[in-house]
Structure 1
Amino acid sequence: MGLYKGPRLLDFAKTPLHLQFNRYVLTGYRPVSSAHECLGSLFYVHNELGNIYTHGIPFFLFLVLMPFSIPWTEVDNIWICLVHYLACLCPTVGSVVYHVFMNHVGGEHVYDTLLSLDMFGVCLVNTLGALPIIYITLLCYPIIQQAALLTYILLSAYGIYCATTARTNVLRLQAFIWQGLFRFSLFLFRVYGSGVGSPHSLRLFVIMDSLAVLGGLVNVIQIPERFSPGLFDNWGNSHQIMHVMVVCSIIYLHWGTLEDLAWIKTFQCPNEG
């Protein structure tokens, strides 16, 4: 990463107050920078570089490779494919923009806007990613299906408001509770035979949500840097671990949705037989 001569990096105490959100990361902070200088930080080592690339690289891989695995022409409702594709992209692109420009010269106002964009991307993967699951699980109950889709969208709007206005990581994590409980009820619906879907997708969706929750908890607790402040300033800190878990969660969402899309091609509800 020596392609760009970076500025003198700051210690925790010398960085702006709105960037002092992890007291266990002691060094490697970029100074207040212009947009051009923020982009230049892609090419030297600092404590946000790992956060940028752990979501930046997956974003471009998802953007280019994922469409080839989605059966666009083999499903009756192409919107399922489209919202799924967008869901997989949203959290990574918002995160990259946030981490690249968070030290912008615009200060706390720009930072808050970028953080809201980041959280909006997380909200969208929760919202758009679940719509195909709801649609397929309740496929044989059209009226309930439509009501569930509308209810989940309303819950998501509430979650977006809470997540984008929350001031702490704990409150941001809480903003997704109702969406998580809704998806869990769908999983139970499948387990007890009322809902439908691929027999292989449920396990993938449970792993998806488990990884997302675990990543959020790691970020809130701030481990491992809590136990050894300064050691994980640039690499291996809690936020980077969360990023990797989020990417893995998206992959499991993709695998589970592909299972359902393959399954739905041959399924017919009993009352339609």
Structure 2
Amino acid sequence: IPLLCFLFLIPLNFPWSQISVTWLGVVHFLACLSPQLGSVLYHLFMNHEGGEPVYHTLLTLDMCGICMINTLGALPIVYSTLLCYPFTRTVALVVYILLSSYAIYSAITARSSVRRLRSFAWQALFRFSFFLLRWVGVGGGSPTSLQHFLTMDALAVLGGIINIARIPERFRPGLFDYWCNSHQIMHVLVVGSILYLHWGVLDDLLWINSHHCPSD
């Protein structure tokens, strides 16, 4: 359901005519879509009988979806924060893409859930540095978007912790096998995280259209 909602509702309700940097809108749409697509493929074929190679392929697709939203989802944030510093903005975008490439390699080669979660730590720290720039007033961006982005990351981290800690099923084994287990809770929180990303990026893209950088 979230996949279909993001697939159809975002492009249909996106204010394309009010956005001056169209490629950021496209990147944002792909970012919102990618984790849902990877997750659907992963869970749809979980009952396969192909053994470890097939499972590893499905897990790789799932990890790619997560990394894509971490990568593509942050590009509008970086762009907006450094809107008035073109050279620094370009360098930051390239560095973040390279960092994300390493993150996805680490995620798909990780041997445990903890290591997979840790693979995205550098991406999170990189994003947080831009949030800090906004908070101190150095970086640009919509005044309302920072709160959305902080909520986004908080929900994502909380979902990851709950999934790794196996809460609540670790306290009542067997009771949450079908409903309200940690993995399901994580997915609900991730959808909420994507929504906050969408609201924050939308605010930023509209802000870009109306903001004028000071002349040198």
Q: Is the shorter-chain TM-score for this pair beyond 0.5, marking a shared fold?
A: yes
Distance in 2 between the 1:208 and 1:244 partners? Answer: 12
TM-score, normalised with respect to structure 2: 0.98
1:165-184 correspondence to structure 2 within 5 Å: 165-184=109-128
Contact 2:145 2:200 in 1 (8 A): yes
Deviant stretches of 4+, over 4 Å: none
Q: 2:28 aligns with which of 65, 74, 84?
A: 84
Q: So what's the TM-score if we normalise by structure 1?
A: 0.78
Q: Distance in 2 between matches of 1:269 and 1:196?
A: 9
Report the counterpart of residue 222 of structure 1 in structure 2: 166
Distance 1:126 1:154 in 2: 12
Determine whether 1:152 maps to 2:127.
Answer: no
| CA distance in 1 between partners of 2:13 and 2:214 (Å) | 29
- Structure 2 residue runs without a partner (length 5+): none
For residue 76 of structure 1, report the CA deviation from its aligned partner. 2.4
Show CA shifts across 1:143-164 (max 9, x none): 1100000000001000000111
Native 8 Å contact 1:103 1:111 kept in 2: no
Distance 2:179 2:193 in 1: 21
Alignment of 1:21-32 (within 5 A): none
| 8 Å CA contact 2:20, 2:208 repeated in 1 | no
1:125 and 2:69 matched: yes
1:58-90 deviation digits (Å, cap 9, x = unpaired): 000111111123222322221100000000000
Matched with 1:53 is: none
Amino acid at match of 1:72: W
Whole-angstrom distance in 1 between the partners of 2:210 and 2:188: 35
When Rg is computed on C-alpha atoms for both structures, the one with the higher figure is 1
Q: In the alignment, is the contact (CA less than 8 A) between 1:119 and 1:163 conserved in 2?
A: yes
Residue from 202, 205, 209 that aligns with 2:153: 209
How many residues end up aligned between the 2 structures?
216
Q: Aligned-pair RMSD on alpha carbons?
A: 0.9
Aligned residue for 1:236?
A: 180
**Structure 1 residue 238: Cα displacement:** 0.3
Question: In the alignment, which residue of structure 1 is the partner of 2:80?
Answer: 136
- Contact map agreement 2:21 2:205 (CA 8 A) in 1: no
For 2:5, the equivalent position in structure 1 comes to: 61
Question: How much identity, in percent, do the aligned residues show?
Answer: 62
* 1:72 aligns to 2:20 (yes or no): no
- Counterpart Cα distance in 1 of 2:139 and 2:215: 14
Q: How many angstroms apart in 2 are the aligned matches of 1:264 and 1:189?
A: 17
Equivalence for 2:207: 263
Give the aligned partner of residue 143 of structure 2: 199
Contact 2:78–2:130 (CA<8 Å) still a contact in 1? Answer: yes
Unaligned runs of 5+ in 1: 1-56
